[in-house]
Amino acid sequence: MDTINYHYSQGDLLENPQNYSYSAYSAQAFIDAWLSNRKSHLDLLPPAEKLEQRNGESMCPKNTINLLHAICERLQQPQVSIDRREMYWLKRLVKKFEVTKLVYSAYQASAPYRPMDKTSYNDMALYLKLAECFILAYNQGGEMQFLNAFIKIQDSIISQVNSLDHISQTHLAWLIQQEVKVLQVFMTDKGLA
């Protein structure tokens, strides 16, 4: 069986975002390379620990971290379904991330919701929290757009692993565990594992 290198999390993906278009099909070799990449990072990270959830104070895009906390707070309550406004913003953030592969600290409050400052995309807390929102949303509703965006944002976060503080690294380890678990279940369900 051919072996390949999972290169999608290499380099500085905030300054040089990954372009996933026209990726070669590598079947099981790709899955094996992805899994090896994730497990090798887990081996280097501190023990996994999910960050404590703060109260979401606002659904206003002018403060992305507060918006993300509000969405995550709702997603962590499985008995309560996410409301239309929260889902609207989560899907907008998927689209924004898919286009630029960046997460900005603030967006304009009206469509098309452009970044308020095009240089404000280096706060890794935003990427970690958005990744958490994506995996929680996928776990709640099974929508592939959230899983797809989650894997891509994980690549971006992993590309910055050396700039993360210890607490952020423990959260990244938790996110990687969630990613591996969810994708192993998905692959088993699809007969790929």
**pLDDT of 10-52, one tens digit each?**
999 999 999 888 777 787 888 889 999 999 999 999 999 998 8
* 11 φ/ψ sector (left φ>0, alpha ψ -120 to 50, else beta): left
Residue 56: band (very low, low, confident or very high) from pLDDT cuts 50, 70, 90: low
In sequence order, the β-bridge partners of residue 115 are 107
Distance CA 106, CA 146 (A): 21
What pLDDT is recorded for position 100? 96
In sequence order, the β-bridge partners of residue 107 are 115
Kind and range of the H or E element at 168? helix 166-189
What pLDDT is recorded for position 4? 87
Non-local (6+) Cβ contacts of 43 within 8 A are none
